[in-house]
């Protein structure tokens, strides 16, 4: 307990799925969590449930105005920001031939531009105190070829590159800010359910070591988020933390 005691964490897409799991675990370990989501009511429900002084804010991650407003509110209400988890995401099932320009722009506005804006506006606030930890959610889609998730994979690839650039920049400028990326495999979330055509019909995930081909549980990603958010990971910077039960290492 208390691995992020006294820290302030901002989670995007915190109203469900991975974001809700991240919010819950960070609050349990002592953080005050700012749960953000484009749907305020879902963010509020999570903030009410996890407690520990957590607050809910509406945030459209594709809007720079919204990011500026959220950072202003955090500074006014909580005085600092120590952890940013750029988690918000959407899924589009279409290959390059099927994807329209508008669809491509929509996916990348949320998961590429949204991550850029979050990092850009979090860094100055983090720098006003003791620095912090930025955790960007990429995907195994950035590491493998998934034709049906073309726009999604492109956005997650951008996250991979941004993370490394930000990590090096912060070191070069003497900022006490680390920036890492997590690359989840298939995790049992509403987004995965939607992609598989079974939204609202979750599969049960067993405890213990999981066999190959089984989806992970949101808590499996939250545990990595907690590690990267805590001071335990002080020597981890610009890293690719692949959490996929071995999918990307198989030779076939």
Q: Which residue has the tokens 């469900």?
A: 16
Other CB atoms within 10 A of residue 182 CB: 25
Catalytic residues: 152
Q: Could you give the CA distance from residue 17 to residue 20 in angstroms, rounded to a whole number?
A: 6
Are 46 and 244 in contact by the 8 Å Cβ rule? The answer is no
- Which pair of tokens denotes residue 71? 């950072």
Q: Could you give the CA distance from residue 98 to residue 247 in angstroms, rounded to a whole number?
A: 26
Q: Could you give the CA distance from residue 60 to residue 67 in angstroms, rounded to a whole number?
A: 8
**Which residues, 6+ apart, have CB-to-CB distance to 57 below 8 Å?**
34, 35, 36, 40, 43, 70, 73
Q: Which residue has the tokens 């495999």?
A: 185
């Amino acid at each position: 307990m208390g691995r992020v005691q006294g820290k302030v964490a901002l989670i995007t897409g915190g109203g469900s799925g991975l974001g809700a799991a991240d919010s819950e675990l960070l609050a349990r370990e002592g953080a005050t969590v700012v749960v953000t989501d484009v749907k305020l009511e879902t963010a509020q429900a999570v903030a009410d449930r996890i407690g520990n002084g957590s607050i809910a804010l509406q945030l459209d991650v594709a809007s720079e105005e919204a990011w500026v407003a959220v950072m202003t509110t955090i500074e006014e209400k909580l005085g600092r920001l120590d952890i940013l988890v750029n988690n918000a995401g959407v899924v589009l099932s279409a290959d390059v031939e099927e994807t329209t320009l508008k669809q491509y722009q929509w996916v990348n506005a949320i998961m590429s531009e949204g991550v850029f804006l979050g990092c850009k506006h979090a860094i100055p606030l983090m720098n006003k105190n003791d620095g912090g930890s930025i955790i960007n959610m990429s995907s195994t889609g950035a590491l493998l070829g998934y034709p049906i998730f073309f726009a999604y994979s492109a956005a997650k690839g951008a996250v991979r590159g941004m993370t490394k650039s930000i990590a090096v920049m912060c070191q070069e400028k003497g900022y006490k800010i680390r920036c890492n990326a997590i690359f989840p495999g298939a995790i049992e979330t509403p987004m995965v359910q939607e992609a598989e055509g079974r939204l609202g019909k979750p599969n049960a995930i067993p405890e213990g070591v999981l066999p190959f081909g089984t989806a992970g549980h949101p808590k499996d990603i939250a545990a990595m988020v907690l590690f990267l958010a805590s001071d335990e990971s002080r020597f981890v910077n610009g890293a690719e933390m692949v959490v996929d039960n071995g999918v990307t290492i198989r030779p076939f």
